[in-house]
Structure 1
Amino acid sequence: MFYSILAVTPLNEDWFSTYLPVANKLVNKYGGKYLARTVNHEQLEGPEDNATIRIILEWPSREAAVDFMNDPEYKPCLELRTNGSKSFHYLVEGKDDLA
């Protein structure tokens, strides 16, 4: 499994109504599943990071996550999100390299 971990701080909400239906449809298309998409979070460690929304998605494979990001239907939505927010997106493999 792979996980997308996002920290998103919207600069405005103008893009939400266009972005969400398409993103939701495409997450499903590529076998993704939202595990968390919430403003209810707290930072326990490290330099202050005041992201408004934390999102965790589970993907069946790295390829599914990358295909989602590269889907032509998603490109304009990604542009809306990146222009309308401060966003960080990490793709994490679900394994323990230190075990």
Structure 2
Amino acid sequence: MTVYLIAEVKVTDDAWIPDYAARVHEIAARHNGRYLSRSGNIEELEGEPTDVTLIALIQFPSREDALAFANDPEYAPFGAARKAGSVSHFRLIDDTDLAGSIPYLGKPG
């Protein structure tokens, strides 16, 4: 089942960004991850603006692939640098429809 890793990041010290931006997409790709977006162009359509500098959306073919990326020892120093220089939230969602009424999405298990 396809899953999406949503990373919401508020940068507090940008020293980690160049290495992270140059290398992490390769690590994600080794775990079958594909960046769909890594953008700072965030436009609020509803609700209060969040205090986020960038949002990344990475597609993985399975939860196991996403977890393998997040737990990869090669990713660990990049993740530690990101955590030290930001306030971050990583969320994982699948491709199901909770209401079950969209035919092209899976039904929750």
TM-score in same-fold range (> 0.5): yes
Note the C-alpha offset of 1:18: 2.2
Q: Find the residue that maps to 2:38 and give its secondary structure.
A: strand
TM-score by length of 2: 0.84
CA RMSD for the aligned pairs?
A: 1.2
Q: Distance in 2 between matches of 1:72 and 1:85?
A: 20
1:71 corresponds to 2:72: yes
The aligned residue for residue 93 of structure 1 is 94
Kept after mapping to 2: 8 A contact 1:37/1:53: yes
In structure 1, stretches of 5+ residues that fail to align are: none
Q: Deviations over 1:15-44 (max 9, x none)?
A: 112222331111110111111111112122
User: What fraction of aligned residue pairs are identical, expressed as a percent?
Assistant: 33
TM-score by length of 1: 0.92
Note the C-alpha offset of 1:8: 0.8
Note the C-alpha offset of 1:6: 1.4
The aligned residue for residue 10 of structure 2 is 9
Q: Distance in 2 between matches of 1:46 and 1:65?
A: 29
Which structure's CA Rg is the greater one? 2
Kept after mapping to 1: 8 A contact 2:25/2:35: no
In structure 2, stretches of 5+ residues that fail to align are: 101-109
Q: Distance in 1 between matches of 2:46 and 2:93?
A: 19
Q: Distance in 2 between matches of 1:43 and 1:6?
A: 16
**Higher RCO (Cα < 8 Å, 6 or more apart):** 1
Kept after mapping to 2: 8 A contact 1:7/1:88: yes
